[in-house]
Amino acid sequence: MRNLKMTIEYDGSRYKGWQKQKYGESTIQYKIENVLSKMTGEDIKVIGCGRTDLGVHAKNYIANFHTECELSIDAMLDYLYEFLPEDIVVKYMEDAAERFHARYNVKSKTYVYRINNNKFRNVFDRKYTYHTDEKLDLDEMRNAAEVLIGTHDFQSFTNLKPNGKSTVRIINYIDIIEKEGIVEVEVNGNGFLLNMVRIIAGTLLEVAKGKLKAIDVEKTLDEKKRSEYGPIAKAKGLFLKDVQY
Bridge-based pairing state of the strands 182-189 and 88-95: unpaired
CB atoms within 10 A of CB 17: 18
Q: How far is CA 146 from CA 105, 108, 119, in A?
A: 27, 18, 28
pLDDT, residue 104, reads: 97
Q: How far is CA 31 from CA 18, 44, 69, 80, 112, in A?
A: 10, 11, 19, 10, 24
pTM of the shown model: 0.94
Q: Is 43 a catalytic residue?
A: no
The rounded distance, in Å, linking the Cα atoms of 154 and 158 is 7
Q: How confident is the model at residue 102 (pLDDT cuts 50, 70, 90)?
A: very high
Domains of the chain listed by start with CATH number: 2-95 (3.30.70.580), 108-244 (3.30.70.660)
Backbone angles phi, psi at 216, to 5 degrees: -70, -40
For residues 91-99, average pLDDT: 97
Q: Which of 11, 43, 53, 216 is an active site residue?
A: 53
Is the pLDDT at 136 greater than 90? The verdict is yes
* Residue 137 identity (one-letter amino acid): D
